[in-house]
Amino acid sequence: MKLSFLLIPLAFFSCKTVKNSTITNTNQKETIVSINKEQAHNVEISINTKEPYCGGAAPRESDLNKVSVGVFNYLLINTTINDTTTIKSDSLGIIYLNLKVGNYAIREIYKDMPFAQFQKNNQPKANQALIGMDPDCYKKWWLKNLLKFEVSEAANMNTFNTTINKKCRVGKNPCVTFTGQLPR
């Protein structure tokens, strides 16, 4: 009986240690949190999202050039050896990595599924005033990487930037058309 009182707190402590780890396992893939800027790295990737102005009134200058950043997961694909790892950006949308020489691609995490499931997940709902386009558009969108890059020499600093461009009323989905009334 006395032994069970000692084991219960130990079990809670063990769970907390795994939860606070910087490397997690999701869907059998390792998630790597990007290293800090101060740590040795040879790749710096900046990813931001451009938000269009979708209002009806005359926009302010700050509304026209709205860019958002944040902590997001992405897929890092080593296209040289066909290996995929999940990576995470920092709060400024920057990923710092120390990569070997090779060819790489960055892909949005929401595309990490079979095509049929991706197409089903991204179809417009009936009451959204959106019309879906042909399946070829979804296939091209699903296959498209956010960024392709090459690390040619591991000792040099490699800096890459990319922007996700959203559209009014449809967000990131390039395969739908808004058919509703626009603001006045």
**Which CATH number covers residue 34?**
2.60.40
pLDDT surpassing 70 at residue 51: yes
Q: Which tens digits make up the pLDDT trace of 68-88?
A: 888 889 999 999 998 999 999
Average pLDDT, the chain: 76
Contact between 19 and 77 (Cβ < 8 Å): no
pLDDT for 76: 95
What predicted TM-score, i.e. pTM, was given to this entire model? 0.71
Rounded to an integer, the average pLDDT of 131-155 is 84
Residue 178 lies in a domain: no
More confident residue, 169 or 61: 61
Lowest mean pLDDT segment, chosen from 33-47, 60-74, 120-134, 150-164:
120-134
Residue 42 lies in a domain: yes
The range of the structural domain enclosing residue 106 comes to: 21-112+145-169
The Cα 27–Cα 15 span in angstroms is 19
The Cα 104–Cα 102 span in angstroms is 7
**Whose CA is closest to 94, among 157, 158, 34?**
34
Q: How many domains does the chain have?
A: 1
